[in-house]
Amino acid sequence: MSQLESQSSLDNLQFVNRFTGQLPADPETGSRVREVSGACFSRVKPQQAPAPKLVAYAREVAQLLDISEADCQSQNFVDVFSGNQQLPGMDTFAMCYGGHQFGNWAGQLGDGRVINLGEIKNSQGEHWTLQLKGAGLTPYSRGADGLAVLRSSVREFLCSEAMFHLGVPTTRALCLLETGQQVVRDMFYNGDAKYEPGAIVCRVAPSFTRMGSFQLFPFRGELDRLKEFLDFTIRNDFPHLLDETIDLNNKSQAFEVYGKWFSEVCRTTAELMVEWMRVGFVHGVMNTDNLSILGLTIDYGPYGWLEDFNPGWTPNTTDAQGKRYAFGKQPQIAQWNLQQLANAVYQLMKEVEPFQEGLLLYNKTYNEGWQSMMAAKLGLQAYQPEDESLVNELLRVLQLTETDMTIFYRNLAEFDCETDHSNLTDEQLIDPIRDAYYKPEQLNANTIGPMANWLRHYQARIQQDGCSNVARKKAMNAVNPKYVLRNYLAQLAIDKAEEGDYSEVNELLDVLRKPYDEQPEKERFAKKRPDWARHRAGCSMLSCSS
């Protein structure tokens, strides 16, 4: 190692590893696939990548971890975050957990293609867990290979950071690397398997604990382990719920804290759902093992952005029939998942009331948050009871013809609410939002008329607030993004990356850093989905294949 590399900021990462230091480990190490009982994790090392190279990194995440930009561009960085080199203090492992998948209990799941490098404490005293997705076999790989391919890794890397800059709570992504290995995948599970370039994403979060992390222990009757894990989670991820007078070994005190903890999980989950609905994000796989107990967006698989405003749309081919995880169902699915979490922790307490209170708080938080969010999207100063009809009518009208959600709200901010439009025809009135429509041939009296009538009601409501066009536009543009990670944009970046050209990945990353700004030189990233992308693989619906 050169003198320059020996002074790398990577060598100064302070690993504290509370998870592996305070929780029970699987007595067997290594990647042999197996049922793991009585343990929260298994120690396993990443698979060696044959020829890793850097595709992109997020400088903001590097700053969180006290890693310099110079080091992000070093070979040392590539070696560490491809899994080829371990830093002092790393204690690599895969987490054990269970969960419900598509509403059915699936038993043991766990980190099947994720290997945690460990937990660090940065110079600000913050704790961050680093994990590699696509780093090889773990005991939880369940017949798969533990690897990931470039196309899914590009999507996860970009969306993790896009969501952060949109203001949506999320796990983060430090970097994306190609491994130099070819990986066999059947993208749509139709027998058309082929080799694809392998890749690894380094994901970063205060904790990767999921709702499903609490489900496996009671299913197996391991209530002591459930309490141990819950107490650990509260001490480390929810320390504000404790003070020096609280003893979690005291049953009455512990139960009070558990109730407060569940209520907080319900509240932050509701707030997350409001944010997803605000920006038009569709997760696609809201299994209980894919929802964070910190209210963060986690596990970016077959996600999508609601381009056509269709509440029944899902981006997941596996969910195409049942549409369990469609855009409009996400809030109720989150509540269902919380009920499963409640069922698990109830086995410790045998008290119903704390969980009922938490679920009621979820409903209250979501409903109030949704109303405030919709008022903000429409530029209203506050949501009034009489606004319910205005909002409901808009949600109905948006579905009359294929309407781009992102462009509609952005263009609505341009609608002049100060001028008398009584002399305008319906056709003329909708001109400011016309670009949001995908099928001009469907713009007739049955589609234009209802939207024009809604715009008249909207103008009258805005005039009640006495808000100027300038002030309303500024407020609306602060909550209605111009740039989101549309699937076709991600696919174009993937196409280039698979040819060894990473420029589009990095340009998209840069554009998505400022999703609410106009960025005139980047207008092509704000266009609605082109017709060629309507049915192309990767541009609309996707599978769980990774």
Does some domain include residue 540? no
For 90-124, give the secondary structure using H, E and C: CCCEEECCEEEECCEEEEECCCCCEEEEEEEECCC
Say whether pTM exceeds 0.85: yes
Task: Pick the last residue of a domain from 173, 208, 243.
Answer: 208
End-to-end CA distance of the chain: 35
Residues 492, 449, single domain; the answer is no
Does some domain include residue 335? yes
pLDDT-above-90 percentage for the chain: 94
pLDDT at 541: 77
Residues 263, 186, single domain; the answer is no
Task: Pick the last residue of a domain from 314, 343, 376.
Answer: 376
The distance from CA 341 to its chain's CA centroid, rounded to whole angstroms, is 19
Residues 226, 319, single domain; the answer is yes
Tokens of 120: 């660090």
Residues 128, 14, single domain; the answer is yes
Q: Would you say how long the chain is, in residues?
A: 546
Nearest to 208 by CA among 147, 274, 131, 156: 131
Does some domain include residue 158? yes
Write out the catalytic residue numbers: 289
Q: How far apart are CA 65 and CA 224, in angstroms?
A: 34
Does some domain include residue 478? no
CB contact burial 156-187 (16+ within 10 A = b; e otherwise): bbbbbbbbbbbebbbbbbbbbbbbebebebeb
Q: What is the extent of the structural domain holding 102? A: 3-208
Helix (H, G, I), strand (E, B) or coil at 178: strand
Report the number of distinct structural domains present in the chain. 4
Nearest to 111 by CA among 177, 218, 31: 31
pLDDT at 307: 93
Residues 30, 13, single domain; the answer is yes
Residues 372, 410, single domain; the answer is no
Residues 223, 367, single domain; the answer is yes
Residues 364, 403, single domain; the answer is no
Residues 46, 67, single domain; the answer is yes
Residues 316, 455, single domain; the answer is no
Does some domain include residue 480? no
pLDDT at 2: 41
| Averaged pLDDT, groups of 10, the chain, 546 residues long | 59 96 98 97 98 98 97 97 97 98 98 98 98 98 96 97 98 98 84 92 98 98 98 98 96 97 98 98 98 98 94 94 96 98 97 97 98 98 97 98 98 98 97 96 96 98 97 98 97 97 98 98 97 87 70
pLDDT at 5: 43
Burial (CB count within 10 angstroms: exposed 0-12, middle 13-18, buried 19+), residue 501: exposed
Q: How far apart are CA 86 and CA 79, in angstroms?
A: 8
Does some domain include residue 472? no
Does some domain include residue 458? yes
Does some domain include residue 481? no
pLDDT at 543: 74
Residues 316, 395, single domain; the answer is no
- Residue pair 241/234 in contact (Cβ under 8 Å)? The answer is yes
Residues 391, 369, single domain; the answer is no
- Sign, CA dihedral 489-490-491-495, equals positive
Task: Pick the last residue of a domain from 208, 227, 246.
Answer: 208
